[in-house]
Amino acid sequence: MSEEQKKVVLTCAQPSGNLHLGNYFGAIRNWCSYLDSHECFFGIANMHAITVPYVPANLRKSVYDLVAIFISCGLDPEKCHIFLQSHVQGHSDLAWILACLCPLGQLERMTQYKQKSAKQGESVGAGLLYYPALMAADILIYNADVVPVGEDQRQHVELTRDLAIKFNNTYSDTFRVPDLFIPQTGARIKSLQDPERKMSKSDANQSGCVYLLDEPTVIRKKIGSAVTDSGCEIVAREDKPGISNLLTILSACTGRTIAELEAEFAGQNYGAFKAAVADEVVKKLEPIQKTYKEISGDKAYLDKVLARSAEAAQRRANRLMSKVYRKVGFNELQK
C-alpha cells in the first residue's frame, strides 16, 4: 500500500524530562503496532511544554532525549515521522482558528486545566487554558484517522472531535473526525506512592514514578516501597488500588492477563510479588536502555531524523492549511 493510501496515525508526547512506565504502556508501546499498517506521525509537543513554568535550555535538551527514547522504544524512524511540533508551521495558526470556534466554558471544564491551574494559582498562563485547542490543531492539521493516547487524554481528543465537527458544519466538510484509541492494558498506570492518582512526571513524590531510564537498583527500590493495601491477597479489586496497579504493570510487562497473574500469585506474600514485578520491569526496560545509551549522544543522527520528519509533516500540514485559510475567508497573498 502506498503512503498516500495508508490511514494516518497521529499522536504526541511532551518533552518534559524523562518518560515513565505510564507513557510507555499507555502510549508508546502501542504506537509501535501501527508502524507497518499506517502512515505514522509522532510529535514532540514542545509548544505544549511552555504552558507551565520551564527552563529553555532544559526544554531544548529534552527534545533530543525524547527522540532517542522514542527510537529506543521501537519507533523505527525509517517507518514513521518523529517530528518536533515547533518545526512545522501551522499548528498555532490552526489552534487560533479552532479556539475562535471553541466555547470558553468547554476549555474551563477540562480536568487537566483544572488540576494544573490549581497548582499555579493566580500566575496561571492563558496558554494552559488554550492548550486543548493547540492539541486539536496538532491532530486535525494532519487529517489523522486515529489518535492513540492514554486515558488521561481522552477528554482532549473528544474535544478535538467536537471541534472538527463544528468546523465542518460551519465551513463545510474539511476535517476527518479522528477516532480515539485507548489501549486496554496500561491505559492508566497509577503512581506507586498514591495509587489513586496517575503516574506522572509532575508528581511531587518521585518515588511513585518509574522512569524508563531508571537504573535497575532504583526500579527495585521504587517497586519494593510501593504502597500496598491492607490484607494479603494479590487480587485486582477496587479496595486494593496499590496491588491492582502492580498487577496492571506486571500484566503490561508480561502480556499475561490479570486473572492468570492472580492465580499464579495466590497464597504468596506481597514481598515476593513485588520482587517479581520489579524483575519483569527491569527485564522490559533493559533493551530500551541499551539502545538509548548507544544513540542518545549522536546529535547529528537525531537532528537528521527530525529534519526528515519535519519535511514530511510540513508537506501534509500545508495541504490542509491552504484549504482551511480558504474556507474561513482569509485572502490569498496576491503577488
Contacts to ligand TYM by CB under 6 A: 11-14, 22-23, 26-27, 45, 48, 135, 138-139, 147, 149-150, 152-153, 186-189, 198-199
Of 198, 222, 240, 274, the catalytic one is 198
Q: How far is the CB of 134 from ligand TYM (least distance, A)?
A: 7
Q: Is the dihedral of CA 158, 134, 64, 217 positive or negative?
A: negative
Q: Which residues pair with 181 in a beta bridge?
A: 148
Separation between Cα atoms, residue 54 and residue 245, nearest integer Å: 30
Whose Cβ is closer to ligand TYM: residue 79's or residue 188's? 188
Q: How far is the CB of 335 from ligand TYM (least distance, A)?
A: 34
Identify whether 274 is a catalytic site residue: no
Identify whether 222 is a catalytic site residue: no
Q: How far is the CB of 332 from ligand TYM (least distance, A)?
A: 29
Identify whether 201 is a catalytic site residue: yes
Q: Name, in order, each residue with C-beta under 8 angstroms of 22's C-beta and a sequence gap of 6 or more.
A: 150, 186, 188, 189, 198, 199, 200
Q: How far is the CB of 232 from ligand TYM (least distance, A)?
A: 27
Whose Cβ is closer to ligand TYM: residue 300's or residue 313's? 313
Of 6, 7, 116, 323, the catalytic one is 116
Whose Cβ is closer to ligand TYM: residue 179's or residue 264's? 179
Q: ∠ at Cα 104 (100, 105), nearest 5°?
A: 150
Judged on CB neighbours under 10 Å (0-12, 13-18, 19+), 50 is: middle
Q: Nearest-CB residue to ligand TYM?
A: 26
Whose Cβ is closer to ligand TYM: residue 186's or residue 334's? 186
Of 79, 166, 201, 323, the catalytic one is 201
Separation between Cα atoms, residue 196 and residue 199, nearest integer Å: 9
Q: How far is the CB of 259 from ligand TYM (least distance, A)?
A: 21
Nearest to 218 by CA among 242, 192, 190, 253: 192
Ramachandran class of 238: left when φ > 0, alpha when ψ lies in -120 to 50, beta otherwise: alpha
| Strand 146-148 relative to strand 179-181, pairing | parallel
Whose Cβ is closer to ligand TYM: residue 53's or residue 267's? 53
> Which cell numbers in the block locate residue 239?
479496595
**Catalytic positions, please?**
116, 198, 201
